[in-house]
Amino acid sequence: MPDAATPQQLSYEEAREELIEVVRTLEAGGTTLEESLALWERGEALAKVCQEWLDGARKRLDEAIGPDAD
């Protein structure tokens, strides 16, 4: 799995796709403890970036809708 880019350099879609692959790899097993830990750490970083993208999108939507939307 290529991880040359830091999670912060990835688009939401790229981070999400890589996160899905990390989860699949971990679920399949067959990796060493060290590999599993590295994948877990990468997955945590990717999940954080995805959440930041989603939070940013929510903020932009809220600003576009304005205070009268509630």
Tokens, residue 5: 């880019």
Residue 31 makes CB contacts below 8 A (sequence gap 6+) with 25, 39
Residues in the chain: 70
In whole angstroms, give the CA distance from residue 47 to residue 24.
14
Which residue do the tokens 């879609």 mark?
Answer: 13
User: Residue 45 pLDDT more than 60?
Assistant: yes
What confidence tier does 67 reach under pLDDT thresholds 50, 70, 90? confident
In whole angstroms, give the CA distance from residue 22 to residue 40.
8
Can you give the pTM of this predicted structure? 0.81
pLDDT tens digits, one per residue of 23-40: 999 999 999 999 999 999
